[in-house]
Amino acid sequence: MEIKVLGPGCPKCQQTEKIVNEVVAETGVDAQVEKVTDVMEIAKSGVFMTPAVMVDGEVKSVGKIPPKDDIRGWIEK
Amino acid sequence: MNQECCASNRPVMMLTCSGASNVGQLSNHAAVELTRDGFGKMFCLAGIGGHLDGFVQSAKDVPQMVAIDGCDTGCAKATLEHAEVPLKNYIVLTELGIEKTHDFDLKREELERVKEAVKGVCFENSPLIPVVDQDSVNCCT
């Protein structure tokens, strides 16, 4: 599984990356978490705001720190 | 593109029908000018219509949004409904007293009327809308 956290480096983007990594560790799911900071690459994904989270190429959350339960739901499916 | 972050802004997403009539094009031009003015940011309704997940999820998650239809055919509204995006603020330009024609020589007075109506409907529901940098990546909402 591939998880991308999109954001140019603001505290909320960093917090999102942190909790995504925590949920991956808690669930034991085999996933690579990548932080995407390149603005052009972020723009290609069509997101209006950051932080955003993509799971296996699908945008799951935009402009907010997602709750852990939401992240768990996305990666445990 | 400005990479500044954490500006604590909550930009208004503007989605326009941009249809093939004076009112469709007025919706488009008003959103372009309001983006330049820093009121909000125009976003791509076609991406939502195409069900591209980044666009659809953005429209679902954005705190401030206005959909602008030229006429009561309601293409922008229907596009959002089809993508299951909740309609937050909504205006129809013919309901502002602007007659629908196929004359693309847009009138400045009508354009200003549309811009004021867009601001009005947004401020009515959220009086603390900030001015934003049109080139910024929006984060830290």
Residue ranges and CATH numbers for the domains of chain A are 2-75 (3.40.30.10)
Which range, of A59-68, B5-14, B34-43, averages the lowest pLDDT? Answer: B5-14
Write the class of the CATH domain B12-125: alpha beta
B2 has a pLDDT exceeding 90: no
Mean pLDDT score, B47-53: 97
| pLDDT, chain A, mean | 95
Could you tell me if A66 lies within 8 Å of chain B, comparing CB atoms?
Answer: no
The ranges assigned to domains in chain B are 12-125
b/e map B31-43, b = 16+ CB within 10 Å: bebbbeeebbbbb
What value, to the nearest 5°, has the Cα angle with vertex A14 and ends A13 and A20?
90
Is the Cβ pair A12, B3 closer than 8 Å? Answer: no
- Chain B residues with beta carbon closer than 8 angstroms to that of A9: 3, 5
User: Under the phi-then-psi rule, with left for phi > 0, alpha for psi from -120 to 50, and beta for the rest, what region is B97?
Assistant: left
Q: How many C-beta neighbours within 10 Å does residue A75 have?
A: 19
B75 has a pLDDT exceeding 60: yes
The tens digit of pLDDT for each residue in A40-68 reads 999 999 999 999 999 999 999 999 999 99
Structure ipTM: 0.89
